[in-house]
Amino acid sequence: MEKKAPYKNINDLQRRIAVYEDEAAYKELFIQLFTSLTRFSTGIVQSKETAEEIVSDVFIKIWNDRARLNEIDDLQLYIYVAVKNNSLRKLKQVNKKSTLSIDAMNIEMDSLYQNPEEKILSNESLKDIDSAINSLPHRAKLIFKLAKEDRMKYKEIASLLNISVKTVDHQLAIALKKITSALGIGSRKKS
């Protein structure tokens, strides 16, 4: 089974934007990250429309700063941090709250998908997994999403959320245990 690679081509897109001002690469970057970033921001600002504006603003800044884009080490993380900071700032404007605990963020996730040729789970099982994921504590669910959908490394998640790598490790383990167990309870037959 192949490991899922991080968005390898983000480096490539980054280079094309910085060096060649390649709009097609800029568009590809936007399309790859937009949905995920919007969901992340919505978890903070609680409004999809506001979140989309924030993400759009961050991308405008990316284009404006394209000449120095290559200086960024980890572009995906950079963009996430920018979205996070802008979202928190926006929340502060509206709410006067100075800190938001990640335990309060409830993030929407991609619905579960199976390759039609390789389908090995029944719809019932998919539903079980889905509800297990959605009943995870918010922190575990967020970390799970960042690891699975955004393919972030432990270090990146820790950096983004201002927590330790150990916590990330621990939370992911919890998440996987819960999810796998939910599946097992539902579908296991007597052997």
List residues binding another protein (CB under 8 A): 1-6, 21, 23-24, 26-27, 30-31, 34-35, 49, 52-53, 56, 59-60, 63-64, 110-115, 118, 120-121, 125, 129, 147-149, 151, 153-154, 169-170, 172-177, 179-181, 183-184, 187-188
**91 or 172: whose CB is closer to another protein?**
172
**28 or 78: whose CB is closer to another protein?**
28
- In the chain, the amino acid numbered 164 is S
Instruction: Round to whole Å and give the CA distance between 27 and 155.
Output: 27
Give me the least distance between CB of 104 and another protein, in Å please.
Answer: 21
**97 or 177: whose CB is closer to another protein?**
177
**94 or 97: whose CB is closer to another protein?**
94
- In the chain, the amino acid numbered 190 is K
Query: Could you count the other beta carbons within 10 Å of the beta carbon of residue 39?
Result: 19
Query: Could you count the other beta carbons within 10 Å of the beta carbon of residue 76?
Result: 23
Instruction: Round to whole Å and give the CA distance between 100 and 103.
Output: 8
Give me the least distance between CB of 87 and another protein, in Å please.
Answer: 16
Tally of CA atoms within 13 A in the half-sphere of 43 that contains its CB: 27
